[in-house]
Amino acid sequence: MASSMRAPADTFPKLLLHNARSFGARPAMRHKDLGIWQTWTWAQVRDQILGLAAGLHRLGLKRGETVAIVGANRPKLYWSVAAVQALGGIPVPVYADAVADELAYVLAHAEVRFAAVEDQEQVDKILSISDRLPKLEKMIYDETRGLRDYDHANLHDIGAVIADGRKALTEDSNFAALIDAEIAAGKGSDTSIILYTSGTTGQSKGVVLSAERCIAASLDTVAFDSLTERDEALAYLPLAWVGDHYLNYAQGMVSGFCMACPENADTAMADLREIGPTFFFAPPRTFEQMLTRLMIRMEDASFVKRKLFHYFIGVARQYGEPILNNQPVPFTGRLLYWLGNILVYAPLKNVLGLSNVRIAYTAGEAIGPDLFSFYRSLGLNLKQLYGQTEAFLYLTAQPDGQIFSDTVGPALPNVDLRIADNGEVLFKSPGMFVSYFKDEAKTRETMTADGFVKTGDAGFFDSKTGHLKIIDRAKDVGKLKDGTLFPPKYIENKLKFYPNIREAVAYGDDRGFVAVMINIDLTAVGSWAERNNVVYGSYQELAGHPLVYDMLQKNIEETNRSLAEDKVTAGAQVKRFLILHKELDADDGEVTRTQKVRRGFVAERYAPLINALYDGSTEAGISTEVTFEDGRKGTMSARVKIRDVATVPAAPTIGRAA
């Protein structure tokens, strides 16, 4: 039982000392420098961190003070985190690519007195905002390049600080005892770290996490995935993101696995291959990019290799997942899969750097079922998890063998999950945050009376699997006139997994039923048209083609069937749809530069179409102003057809096998 697990220590610096005693000769950290992987054992890492802590003490860092950590995944920055914690200070990692303004806000809000930064770029950035940071006194940096001619009164090379600290430790045993006492004085209830949320919804907030809770959460999940000191991970996620601090720093300290820092951000995928981690996390986008690059390179492969690849990928699609899930598979299937593994899957995973991966996670956004099953069919144990900064990431995760592309798994051990009346997911967990830094009001607002934390996400428990499904941000979820839950993004994401559909905008809040406007994907539908001798002269003509409508109607009806599988979403099936005559475009303000649909604006602009969706007409005229790439404006008019879609009754929840 996870709850019976006891941590060998209640703070990370104590864990570090414990690890150095227990398996001091095991590798703790790697970093590729000048083309060669450098390795530090746990004992060496301990010496470096103690040296840095001693050096920082000599520079004047005191208990309770905050220290900004700005930069990429580099050993010396990770050591800075631990060294600051050793002295009872509080590290505050900040996104390295934050612009000066964001950086100024976080550093000022966190009242940092010291900053540990990667290189000249970050030093310059902080110097440029120093007038807004009255408390900031000293900076320490990792990369010396370009900094030689700077005023070094308050600027120190981390390497030199470590050397200075180590010298003092060896020469003065009283000082060494003082540092040891500082570590021993750390309590589990101390603030371990403050992680600032990325601030996509308003000003970013500082999430205060305590040492004992961070360690408790890590213990549970390390046990959940049975991670040990023999595992290895690539630390390439942003330092300031809870994912990196959790997956790499905290889990690494708790389980003792080795984390490898890539040479730089661009080389991460190549380094992945050289390191061959056993534990791997990547957002869905990274998996998609890996697949795209693979497919492009396969196109250039020789005829025989291409044939071989496609044949065995077909085999994997058929048998790969059942084999991974330990389901019955015919003998010929196993044989073919075994052969495919030798000829295709194993070499493929090797190229991707995934050969040794025992556990892989993805999270952050919905992952396409095809993409998800592609990796799983190759034998990669890819799973989904759900969490947020306030929960120290982990709330749910899929256990081995219970994997579904559209769920995020059941609650983890010791995690209490509850769905509020408005559909919002609430939790109480071992790793939950203490408060928002200097923001009592926000903290109270986020907690319920009985001590649960509001995630801000809407979700429900899948009736068949019992897993949690996240459908949307809680504030975006609406209700149909009859009170049925209407999660627009959930429906749109389901639709967008069809290659034919590039963009979908669902309406239904305070309406009688759900209706969608669709953008076709010109590449996918265009190549379909070519194969099926459908002649078209323009995007508009293709979008209005009856055969295209037929095809999309099938896609939507399929989506309706999948929505009907769950009582919660069954009422939100799509009743009517139309295909827009033009692509939603950032130049016209219809989508943001990051390709997110601006729902309200689109609703206003296409009001005649939306009215037609709801008044029962089968066709509507629309005329919109468009902006061409050179900035000229013109008007575009079209008649757009509207179709009805068949819906299915909600699946009965009783009398059906899971």
Partner 1 sequence: MSGPAASDIAAGEVLLSIENVSLSFGGVRAIRDVSFDIKKGEVRAIIGPNGAGKTSMLNVINGFYQPQQGRITFKGKTRSKMQPHDAARGGIARTFQNVALFKGMSALDNIMAGRTLKMRRGLLWQILRVGPALNEEVAHRHRVEEIIDFLEIQAIRKVPVARLPYGLQKRVELGRALAMEPDLLLLDEPMAGMNLEEKEDMSRFIVDVNDHFGTTVALIEHDMGVVMDLSDRVVVLDHGVKIADGTPDEVKKNQDVIDAYLGVAH
Contact pattern for partner 1 over residues 96 through 135, marking x by CB under 8 A? ----------------------------------------
Among 201, 228, 264, 527, binds partner 1 (CB under 8 A): 264
Distance CA 648, CA 644 (A): 13
Q: Which of residues 130-169 bind partner 1 (CB under 8 A)?
A: 145-146
Among residues 145, 144, 173, which one has the least CA distance to residue 160? 144
- The CA-based angle 530-609-644, given to 5 degrees, is 65
The SS3 assignment for 6 reads: coil
Q: Judge whether 617 and 576 are in contact, CB under 8 Å.
A: no
Contact pattern for partner 1 over residues 23 through 42, marking x by CB under 8 A? ---------x-xxx------
- 170 part of the interface to partner 1, by CB under 8 A: no
Q: Judge whether 593 and 599 are in contact, CB under 8 Å.
A: no
Q: Which of residues 33-92 bind partner 1 (CB under 8 A)?
A: 34-36
Among 131, 151, 171, 266, binds partner 1 (CB under 8 A): 266
Count of residues in contact with partner 1, rule CB under 8 A: 11
Q: Which is nearer to partner 1, 208 or 352 (CB)?
A: 352
Smallest gap from Cβ 458 to partner 1, in A, equals 40
Smallest gap from Cβ 32 to partner 1, in A, equals 8
CA dihedral 262, 396, 9, 238 (to 10 degrees): 20
Smallest gap from Cβ 443 to partner 1, in A, equals 42
Distance CA 51, CA 414 (A): 37
- 270 part of the interface to partner 1, by CB under 8 A: yes
The number of residues in the chain equals 658
Distance CA 377, CA 396 (A): 23
Among 244, 263, 566, 588, binds partner 1 (CB under 8 A): 263
The SS3 assignment for 443 reads: helix
DSSP 313-371: HHHHHHHHHHHHTT----HHHHHHHHHHIIIIIHHHHHHHT-TT-SEEEE-SS---HHH
Q: Which is nearer to partner 1, 121 or 509 (CB)?
A: 121
Among residues 441, 461, 472, 436, which one has the least CA distance to residue 109? 436
Smallest gap from Cβ 34 to partner 1, in A, equals 4
Contact pattern for partner 1 over residues 434 through 463, marking x by CB under 8 A? ------------------------------
Q: Which is nearer to partner 1, 6 or 145 (CB)?
A: 145
Which stretch, 5-13, 162-170, 266-274, 382-390, contacts partner 1 (CB under 8 A)? 266-274
Q: If you ran DSSP here, which 8-state letter would residue 153 be given? A: S
- 300 part of the interface to partner 1, by CB under 8 A: no
Positions touching partner 1 (CB under 8 A) are 32, 34-36, 145-146, 263-264, 266-267, 270
